[in-house]
Structure 1
Amino acid sequence: MTAPVGVILAGGLSRRMGGGDKGLLDLGDKPLLQHVIDRLGPQVRTMALNANGDANRFANYGLPVIADETTDFAGPLAGVLAGMVWGAAQGADHIVTVAADTPFFPTDLVARLKASLTPDSAIALAATPDPERGMARHPTFGLWPTNLADDLRQALADGTRKVVAWTDRHGTAMAEFPASPFDPFFNVNTPDDLIRAQELLR
């Protein structure tokens, strides 16, 4: 496997936050997105931001901004597809995706996603223990082969929107992470979540 490239998924509509770009909200002394960049950067050889609309709003970050191929906000899978296409153009056989609103994800995310792959798995997703579901998968945190881009494009055209509905068609490994003292994949969806993130940061 060549060194994977990173793709930060920021293409959502942020409805529960009242719209706009959650990643540009301040957490501590810097925006949420900068926390994500700082965590992902050391783990990959280069990064891009998946976002739709005017790319200039992210100009300060110095990252390539890649938009979804479709304009109907098809969810995270559309961002994964955009990342696969961009990653393949960088010569990468895999991309790693993270969410732009999850500032505390593990600093060994990429290494553990890679280590979880088996001969029967094409994709790896992060997971944490859940008292009700056993292991809860975090489908925006994954390791994806770029050679599945055409397959994913067809799945989106056929109406697939749920990440695991597509990943379950392919071999998918789980990279397990501890969920204490808090789930590292905690994401900021609402104003109350942002307050919680401020508390966790302190």
Structure 2
Amino acid sequence: MMPLGVILAGGQATRMGGGDKGLLPLGGARVIDHVLDRLRPQVGAMCLNANGDPARFDLGLPVVPDSIADYPGPLAGVLAGMDWAATQGAEAIVTVAADTPFFPRDLVATLVAASAGQTHPLVLAAQKGDAQTRSKSKSGLIRHPTFGLWPVALRDDLRAALDQGLRKVVLWTEKHGGREAIFPAAQDPFFNINTPEDLIRAEERA
């Protein structure tokens, strides 16, 4: 069974002045339309993780909010996606960020391939860092924690960890033997839109 797709849009977009970054115009559409175009062929059903009034989205997708209060970060969105996927009978989800319109079209296949042999498929997207990154990181990798393959079977463990105050994605994934799938750094496929300047760069690229 293909993993289900979960688009993470539960952040507060403070550097963009608030609002939903995914609904910003880009290349004659919206940022999230580009995300959907890339994700839809790679997964089964999809949902959107977002907080607030779901009526502001017209995507034809289920909108699932965080179940943990006070915007605790991307792991809350992962958990919301896991809980939704459990109702669909799915074993795994793949998460992507709603503000990253150029992510790889082979994202899911690469994550799934990297999970071979794992009891619970748990893989984060990553890229090889430059010399400065390698000096600061034991692995020498730049991880992209909003892009990952997550096992629905571990959702209660994740819920307990969040309830206990865990916020760092890698602390939880490493506890469960998580891996990294390495993607090429060329063309910066995980470029995300955080600021108005980023949106200008994305428009040029689109």
TM range (shorter): over 0.9
2:190 to 177, 185, 194: 185
**Equivalent of 1:197, from 199, 202, 206?**
202
Contact 1:85 1:146 in 2 (8 A): yes
Q: Does the CA-based 8 Å contact 1:97-1:140 persist in structure 2?
A: yes
1:71-103 Cα distance to aligned partner (Å, 9 max, x none): 211110000000001011111100000000000
What are structure 2's unaligned runs of at least 5 residues? 135-139
Residue by residue, what CA displacement relative to the aligned partner does 1:100-140 show, whole Å, maximum 9, x if unpaired? Answer: 00000000000000000143473101011210233211000
Corresponding residue for 2:20? 21
Q: Partner residue of 2:37?
A: 38
Match of 2:109 in 1: 111
CA distance in 2, matches of 1:121, 1:22: 36
Structure 1 residues 143-175: Cα deviation after superposition (integer angstroms, max 9, x where no partner)? 000010000000000100111111111111111
State the 4+ residue runs in structure 1 displaced beyond 4 angstroms.
none
Contact conserved, 1:121 with 1:172, CA < 8 A, in 2? no
Q: Aligned-residue CA RMSD in angstroms? A: 1.0
Distance 1:44 1:31 in 2: 21
Partner of 1:65: 63
Structure 1 length normalisation: TM-score? Answer: 0.95
- Whole-angstrom CA distance in 2 between matches of 1:95 and 1:53: 23
1:95/1:144 contact within 8 Å kept: yes
1:175 partner letter: A
**Partner SS state of residue 16, structure 1:** helix
Q: Quick check: 1:168 aligned with 2:167?
A: no
- Conservation of the 8 A alpha-carbon contact between 1:128 and 1:183: no
Q: Is the 8 A contact 1:49 1:63 kept in 2?
A: yes
Q: Which residue of structure 1 aligns with residue 148 of structure 2? A: 142
Q: Distance in 1 between matches of 2:143 and 2:159?
A: 22
Q: What is the CA–CA distance in structure 2 between the aligned matches of 1:172 and 1:196, rounded to whole Å?
A: 33
Amino acid at match of 1:19: G
Q: How many residues are paired up?
A: 198
Q: In structure 2, what residue type is equivalent to 1:191?
A: P
Residues of 2 paired with 1:118 and 1:129: CA distance?
21
In structure 1, what is the equivalent of residue 91 of structure 2?
93
Identity of aligned residues (%): 63
1:14 to partner: Cα distance: 0.2
Distance in 1 (alpha carbons) for counterparts of 2:68 and 2:115: 30
